[in-house]
Amino acid sequence: MTFLQLENIHHSYFSNTQAKEVLRAISLAIREGEFVSFIGPSGCGKTTLLSIIAGLFPATEGKVYIDGEELATLHQPSIGYMLQQDYLFPWKTIEENVTIGLKMMERNTKTHKVTANALLQEIGLPHVGSNYPRELSGGMRQRVALARTLAVNPKILLLDEPFSALDYQSKLKLEDLVVETLKAYKKTAVLVTHDIGEAIAMSERVFLFSANPGTLHKVFEIPQALQELSPFEVRQHPTYAEVFQTIWKELESLG
């Protein structure tokens, strides 16, 4: 079942003297519970497209549908957005950071602590609720950012290079955690990344965009044998190198 649908998305940025076209005729459909990645050369509009899906600003032309509803009519908490920076409030405890979205939505405050504790347990940080962000490592802070994103029970998660600032070991651990957690919660997710390996390891499909302006160039289906593994295990599988080479050559052909 199609869960996220983009119909003929065009986008341009306008200044006093010119218009720069950054996206042209983007149409695609993503299934419910599917994890996909957007990759492509710099300037292909990946982050702009993610921002349009997030409802941060409307496309110049075209429509976005989530679960059959046009984005313009949806409440924004139905979309979770996880960025490269964790943006935790340094003066709030971890528990308060996790539940800040719930407080903004004026959900029942009696359940906030239960929700925070359950999510912190889920992400492997069961005893940090009373700590402050400065007391946690970068990888732990990104785990908290994931818990905060999931706390409002969004319909879809948008991930904009959330692991790129981490050391390699933390990055691999967090990839595994995110995939495992999103599968458990049956969440639909879109990842923007420059890392082909990360896209292959985490995704069911990889969307490759070309640049100037950004257009959808090709879609790669990740083999089922890889989809059934954790991201760390995918990188050890003999099929991984073959898929990597295929996508790399296609990306190289774009110049």
For the ranges 45-49, 77-81, 199-203, the maximum mean pLDDT occurs at 199-203
User: Quick one: average pLDDT of 114-137?
Assistant: 83
Query: pTM score > 0.75 for this model?
Result: yes
- CATH, residue 182: 3.40.50.300
DSSP line for the chain = -EEEEEEEEEEEEE-SS-EEEEEEEEEEEEETT-EEEEE-STTS-HHHHHHHHHTSS--SEEEEEETTEEGGGS-GGGEEEE-SS----TTS-HHHHHTHHHHHTT--GGGHHHHHHHHHHHTT-TT-TTS-GGGS-HHHHHHHHHHHHHHT--SEEEEESTTTTS-HHHHHHHHHHHHHHHHHTT-EEEEE-S-HHHHHHH-SEEEEEETTTBEEEEEEEPPHHHHTS-HHHHTTSHHHHHHHHHHHHHHHHT-
* pLDDT level of residue 62 (50, 70, 90 thresholds): very high
Q: Which residues span the domain enclosing 208?
A: 2-253
Task: Identify which has the larger pLDDT, 100 or 61.
Answer: 61
What would the pLDDT profile of 104-116 be if each residue is shown by its tens digit? 766 556 566 677 7
Query: According to the model, what pLDDT value does residue 76 have?
Result: 55
Number of domains comprising the chain: 1
